[in-house]
Amino acid sequence: MDTFKHQKSRSSGDKNTKSRKNPKHFTDVHGLPCIEKIVTSVEDIPEPISTNIIGMIPNWINGNFLRNGPGKFEMGNHRFNHWFDGMALLHQFKISNGEVTYRSRFLSSDSYQTNKEQNRIVMSEFGTLTMPDPCKNFFQRFVSRFELPKPTDNANVSFVTYKGDFYVSTETNIMHKVDPETLEAIQKVDWSKFIAVNGATAHPHTEPDGTVYNMGNSYSSKGAYYNIIKVPPTKVAEEETLEGTTVLCSIPAEDKTKPSYYHSFAMSENYVVFIEQPIKMDLLKIVTGKLTRKSISDGFSWNPKLNTILHLIHKLTGKVSSIKYLAKPISTFHQINAYEEDGFLIIDLCASDDGQAIANYNIQNLRKSGEALDEVFCTHEDLHGEDLHKYGGLEFPQINYSKYNMHPYHYFYGCGFRHLVGDTLLKMDIRRKEMKVWEHPSLYPSEPIFVPCPYATEEDDGIILSVIITPNKDKSTFLLVLDAKTFKELGRAVVPVNIPYGFHGTFSSTA
Ligand SMILES: [Fe+2]
């Protein structure tokens, strides 16, 4: 269930920005002829193939650049309704001594295997509802429509690490542990076997010692709860997965039957910050979806009459701040950074003040002083200049995470979105509100990942990795390597296959 996340936003206060399409239009690839290849199914390539290096890949980069995203958009004659529903295709760019190899593998999830065996879509995904088996009689079909939607294990959103192991994740209770070398799925891991949650986000936060925080919902007769999850940093036994995981605290949803959707959360040195935004999930609609023939995505709605509520949870004690921090209605999917400075808690995020129209993105900076009031209204400032609007807004934010997450920082990187997928790479200097841009017509970059160089002394000493999709050319996708400081190209590794546009990735150093 990974919806709206990279597309749904509008810039606040900019009357010149044009609304983009309704998210439902996003599923209609036929309306996007120029980038249709981005959502065209491909074959996987489980054995590594070599790439053609143009320019120079620095010798100090050694490791696996791992990415995740949908790669198969139909099963038999059935087509998924939503881009986010495509079957997870895992990618590996292995970088070693200036050379790069590429491989990919479909995640052998239950969803993938069952769909493949039956040559049709059997498992419901976020925006795709399976139809009852035509072989079932009327009564069986009627009953099956009352069933709760079975959570998908098609973990197509991100690569994450827990206790030093790699997992692929979506937002349901099922993740898959994956071998980062072969991309093979090793083990299916169910959050609900360890703690009472129905899922967890695909965007956990990691402490320098390896402790991981995440969030997940739980539902009971008392209503919906948001849970803060803490996973220990190391394994006691080799075969361990999420053993020792605890729920740090549970926060009741403001509206018990309509909890807010959240795609990620923020974390500072002392606090987890949960942003309860006015994108609501109507649990009744979702549960009765089979009867009413609605998909899970139909149960989502934006309520601009509601404020955004920011919950501060103390990481050490698990206590939720008694102060109610409010902000105007915003929709946010990805947080950039959060830190404490001079009595302020500063949260930087990609946000919009409209949860319905897809339009330009705005980077907002929510600030709040620690006054002892019961209710405090937070204000924001833009982290960018007017020039961002030329690039349509920004998403897929990334920073020099290992050194600057939870700390004051200068730079973040992201994709500009003038189209439905990223079409520029941006480097934002948030102190000067200036940016650098990498842009080439008809080239569509993925989420930029920052890799620090050895002996780095400055925040942007390192490189940016991004996979560039070339829908107008056949078999010429490439891995782009930019100097993070200058934002100039150092080199590229051209892959002789087509690769669909993906979501999130990570770099695993083997140096
Ligand atoms: Fe995401």
Q: Any idea what the CATH number is for the domain that residue 200 is in? A: 2.130.10
pTM of the model: 0.87
Measure 221 CA to ligand 1 centroid, in angstroms: 30
State in Å: Cα 201 to ligand 1 middle: 9
Distance 3 CA to ligand 1 centre (A): 9
Distance 308 CA to ligand 1 centre (A): 20
Backbone angles phi, psi at 384, to 5 degrees: -140, 165
Between the CA of 114 and the centroid of ligand 1 the distance, in Å, is 26
Question: CA angle at residue 307 from 305 to 308, to 5 degrees?
Answer: 135
C-alpha to C-alpha distance for 158 and 231, rounded to whole angstroms: 18
Ligand 1 center–CA 397 separation, angstroms: 9
Q: How far is the CA of 157 from the centre of ligand 1 (A)?
A: 7
Q: Is residue 438 in a domain?
A: yes
Burial of 357 (0-12, 13-18, 19+ CB in 10 A): middle
For residue 172, what are the domain limits?
A: 23-509
Task: Find the 171 Cα to ligand 1 centroid distance in Å.
Answer: 10
Which pLDDT belongs to residue 125?
A: 66
Distance of CA 86 from the midpoint of ligand 1 (Å): 15
Note the pLDDT of residue 17. Answer: 30
Establish if 5 belongs to a structural domain.
no
Q: For residue 232, what are the CA distances in angstroms to 166, 169, 205, 209, 244?
A: 15, 18, 12, 9, 6
Q: How far is the CA of 113 from the centre of ligand 1 (A)?
A: 25
Q: Residue 435 C-alpha to ligand 1 middle, in angstroms?
A: 22
What was the pLDDT predicted at 7?
A: 28
Q: How far is the CA of 36 from the centre of ligand 1 (A)?
A: 21
Cα 442 to averaged position of ligand 1 atoms, centre (Å): 23
CA 503 – ligand 1 centroid, Å: 7
Alpha-carbon span 215 to 203, nearest angstrom: 9
What is the whole-number distance in angstroms between the Cα of residue 264 and the centre of ligand 1? Answer: 7
- Position 13 in a domain: no
How much distance in Å is there from the Cα of 396 to the middle of ligand 1? 7
Residue 110 sits at φ, ψ, to 5 deg, of -60, -40
Contact, 503 vs 126, CB < 8 A? Answer: no
371 CA from centroid of ligand 1 (Å): 32
Confidence at residue 35, expressed as pLDDT on a 0 to 100 scale: 64
404, part of any domain: yes
Give the Å distance between the CA of 350 and the centre of ligand 1.
Answer: 11
Cα–Cα dist 268/338, whole Å: 5
Q: Smallest Cα–Cα separation from 232: which of 163, 174, 175?
A: 163
CA 168 to centroid of ligand 1, rounded, Å:
13
Residue 167 CA to ligand 1 center (angstroms) comes to: 15
Ligand 1 centroid from CA 466, angstroms: 16
Cα 317–Cα 253–Cα 283 angle in degrees, nearest 5: 140
- Cα of 372 vs centre of ligand 1, distance in Å, is 34
For residue 6, tell me if it sits in a domain: no
- 61 in a structural domain: yes
CA 449 – ligand 1 centroid, Å: 13
Tokens for 485? 């400081």
Cα–Cα distance between 190 and 193 in angstroms, integer?
A: 6
Tokens of 68: 């995740």
d(CA 66, CA 446): 12
**How close is the Cα of 327 to the center of ligand 1, in Å?**
22
**What's the total number of domains in the chain?**
1
Where the chain has pLDDT below 50, the residues are 1-33, 131-148, 357-363, 367-373
Give the distance (Å) from ligand 1 centre to CA of residue 278: 18
**Does 217 fall in a domain?**
yes
Centre of ligand 1 from the C-alpha of residue 334, in Å: 6
Assigned domain for 8 exists: no
Q: In 10 A of CB 280, how many CB atoms?
A: 21
Beta strands in 80-198 (DSSP E): 87-96, 99-106, 158-162, 165-169, 174-178, 185-190
CA of 127 to the centre of ligand 1 (A): 16
Distance from residue 388's CA to the centre of ligand 1 (Å): 21
d(CA 57, CA 163): 30
Measured in angstroms, how far is the CA atom of residue 291 from the centroid of ligand 1? 30
Distance 5 CA to ligand 1 centre (A): 6
Sequence-distant (≥ 6) Cβ neighbours of residue 52 within 8 angstroms = 493, 494, 496
Ligand 1 mean position, distance from CA 502 (Å) = 11
| 409 Cα to the center of ligand 1, angstroms | 21
CA of 381 to the centre of ligand 1 (A): 23
